Chain A
Amino acid sequence: MRIALIGNQNSGKTTLFNTLTGSNQKIGNWPGVTIEQKVGYIDNGKHEIIDLPGIYSLSPYTLEESISRAFLLQEKIDLIINIIDATQLERSLYLTTQLLELNIDMIICLNMADTFVKKGISIHKELLSQKLNTSIIEISALKKTGIQKLIQCINNKDYLKYKPLKIFNPNIEKTIQYLEDKISEPNKRFLSIKLLESDPIIEHTIDVSSLTKPLEKVYGYDFETIIASGRYAFIEKIKKESFVRIHHGDKLTESLDKLFLNKFLAIPIFGLVMFLIYYLSVGVVGTLTVDFVDGTISRFSSFMFDFLKDLGAHDFSASLVSDGIIAGVGSVLNFVPQLIILFILISALEGSGYMTRIAFFLDRLFKKFGLSGKSLIPFIIGSGCSVPGIMATRTIESQDERRISIMLTPFIPCSAKLPIIALFAGFFFPNNSGFVSFSLYMFSIVVILISALIMKTVFFKGQPSSYITELPNYRVPNFRYVFRDVYERVKEFISRAGTIILLSSVIIWFLSSYSFRLEYGVDVNESMLSYIGRGFAYLFYPMLGDLSWAASVSALQGLVAKEQVVSSLAVIGGLSAEITEGNIILNAPIYQFFTPQSAYAFMVFNLFSAPCFAAIGAMHKELGSRRKTWIAILFQTGLAYGLATLIFQLGTFIGGVL
């Protein structure tokens, strides 16, 4: 059976999906619209379940809603699971009334049933089920209660089958019926209502104005309002009969908001939270672990070299393993402890409900720069990885703001850029590494805001959009969910180190160990790579103050993956000199030219220049245009180049004066 999982944002949809599918998930594409979506399997692969984006309506205006709607209409779906947060019954059922217009069987899951007593909620489930002509199951996706019952119900097809439900006033129902009789396609009722609402996506030859005009006159509203009001009137009626709530409001949320949304404290607290995230992951954990892991890796590397030599291996194979593979991959794996901390903190920020508060109080500021508060979410997610960050822009309604956010999300230091920042900040600013890392983060925010303003005035001159969003209650982040999230992201990072970075490291090792005559063991400055890099070195001269082929080729490899910048520096550095104690990479003589100024400029270049191929791919997909993708890449790289040069030149000048 093919099942679609659908519900409002924050209804616990993803938690239910994870609970239902366990580890049986994959990211899949479905034809028609290129979009990544999660597909999982229930009960030993018997049923396929598709996780659709969290939406409030099947209206045609936001991307996620039109995607879900197209999916439900075009794909063959046997069953819908509609997940509902009972504390927000009215708004949740609004989507339900629309889903009930499709000719698809449905089960409603009342989520968070474990908290009903605490929240003073009591629901007459049978009555509600009868009024909606739909089976209702109480579950707790988090506590995993009611899940067996749900699976059993699916397996036995033990649910109420689809039957059209008439919810509007008789005169409106009569008009809908009249249209239904004229339509031959499936989903008649859905199409008829959409036609009456003059939905821009539905194409049909029937002229409805003769039907809608008289009714609009009677009600005194346009048809969209009449339909929406009709739905809510129906919901209010059945809610009155089947739902009781003794106490309202969430005390914890009220008091936390008094603090976090305080007029004077909100922004300092936000700054502090962001600083702590970076300080903890890069500063504290960074200094604790990097030297330790680095030392271990370099010892392991020289041990492997000697070990292989003892076995009688040739110099080049021993070097390939120790200088190429271990140095290259190890330099990236170094940063795993920092990333774990960063991922835990971001995941907790997302899960707690604080993220939406940040978006709420920064909206006014962002609006001034042509963005909305909603752009903040891609930016914060982007500090883990740009790819999901870019995809998170889908919730932004305005096309222009969405495009700007897509182009600017890669400016946020993602986890793969963190190794570059941590490496240089740790080496050149040993006493202030946490502060320097944070300064880059703040710098990226400033650059984003200014770029947004430029883009808004130069490229996009559309209407300003709106900011209409739900403010959910605070929640204690679920430990299991955070753990799972962090595990997935770290796994992804490590598997990249084992694949892309491994391969690139071997290539870099080869190119920097051999000359063009394929002689092994030449001085690294005579290697193929050095000659390839010399041409690019001129390009980087204005920001580095030195013709360094090694730094130049490493920066270029940021296109493959940003981690590769550090890997490449490590491989070249390792080949150029005997490995010494401590922070090995930047101690290599080949990097002696770096000054704090050029180090900062180098970080800035890598931070803002074109992102890795994966992120470019995501930009292309979301922008839907090759031209716009090129504009974005050129804009990013040009800006990075200009800023890095400016910082180096100004920094060196000021350094000279002082």
Chain B
Amino acid sequence: MTETTTTLDKVKLNQSAKVIGLNSTKKEIKRRLLDMGLTPGVIVHIKKIAPLGDPVDISIRDYNLCIRKEDLKQIEVIIL
């Protein structure tokens, strides 16, 4: 495999990516992201970006989740 990993904030609008893992140092945030379904292997799709540029609305597990860019930075992904 030659796919390179990046973080979810780098993924562009309407692109999809596969989650590899979470790097969050804040335990609360990491747990929240896991609870909301951001587990390794799940596929996410960047759906909307808020009019002011942040947060971002991602489509995951059949629903829409809003996350700030600084938290997307903690999510390691492979762009599909």
Contact = CB atoms under 8 A, between A and B. Distances in A.
Contacts of A88: 61-63
Contact of B63 (A91, A257, A467): A91
Contacts of B42: 232
A591 interface: no
Nearest to A398: B28
A248 to B, nearest CB: 7
Contacts of B61: 88, 90-91, 232
Contacts of A365: 52
Given A225-B21, A367-B68, A90 B37 contact: yes
B37 A232 contact: yes
A262 interface: yes
A466 B21 CA distance: 18
B5 to A, nearest CB: 14
Contact of A469 (B28, B29, B40, B65): B65
Nearest to B52: A364
A228 B40 CA distance: 9
Contacts of A457: none
A61 B34 contact: no
Given A88-B63, A257-B48, A364 B35 contact: no
Interface in A50-99: 56-57, 59, 61-62, 87-91, 94
B77 interface: no
Contact of A87 (B27, B30, B62): B62
Interface in B66-80: 66-68, 70-71
Contacts of B30: 224
A466 B67 contact: yes
B32 A59 contact: yes
A229 B55 contact: no
B36 A361 contact: no
A228 B39 contact: yes
Given A225-B22, A262-B51, A468 B32 contact: yes
Nearest to B58: A471
B39 A261 contact: no
A57 B62 CA distance: 17
Given A225-B40, A361-B50, A363-B50, A468 B31 contact: no
Contacts of B52: 361-362, 364-365
A362 B28 CA distance: 23
Contacts of A61: 27-28, 31-32
Contacts of A397: 28, 32
A263 interface: yes
B71 A56 contact: no
A470 B62 contact: no
Contacts of A225: 21-22, 34, 39-40
Contacts of A471: 57, 64-66
Contact of A360 (B32, B35, B57, B71): B57
Residue from the set A57, A91, A373 with the largest chain B CB neighbour count within 10 Å: A91
Contacts of A464: 70
Contacts of A87: 62-63
A470 B28 contact: no
A88 B59 CA distance: 11
Contacts of A264: 51
A463 interface: yes
A468 B33 contact: yes
Contacts of B28: 61, 397, 466
A248 B63 CA distance: 10
A221 interface: yes
Contacts of B32: 59, 61-62, 397, 466, 468
A494 B55 CA distance: 41
A57 B32 CA distance: 9
Contacts of B62: 87-91, 245, 248
Given A61-B31, A225-B34, A463-B26, A468 B65 contact: yes
A291 B40 CA distance: 64
B31 A229 contact: no
B37 to A, nearest CB: 6
Interface in A187-231: 221, 224-225, 228-229
B53 to A, nearest CB: 6
Contacts of A274: none
Contacts of A261: 48, 50-51
A359 to B, nearest CB: 8
A466 B27 CA distance: 12
A397 B35 CA distance: 14
Contact of A364 (B31, B54, B57): B54
Interface string A362-396: 11110100000100000000000000000000000
A240 to B, nearest CB: 13
Contact of B51 (A91, A94, A229, A267): A267
A266 interface: yes
A62 to B, nearest CB: 8
B40 A94 contact: no
10 contacts: A90-B62, A225-B22, A232-B42, A262-B51, A360-B57, A463-B26, A466-B26, A470-B36, A470-B63, A471-B57
Q: Which 5 A-B pairs have the closest CB atoms?
A: A228-B34, A57-B35, A471-B64, A364-B52, A90-B61
Interface of A: 56-57, 59, 61-62, 87-91, 94, 221, 224-225, 228-229, 232, 245, 248, 257, 261-264, 266-267, 360-365, 367, 373, 397, 463-464, 466-472
Given A224-B31, A365-B52, 20 more contacts: A56-B36, A61-B27, A87-B62, A88-B62, A221-B40, A228-B34, A232-B61, A257-B48, A262-B51, A360-B66, A361-B51, A362-B52, A397-B32, A463-B26, A466-B26, A466-B28, A468-B33, A468-B67, A471-B66, A472-B64
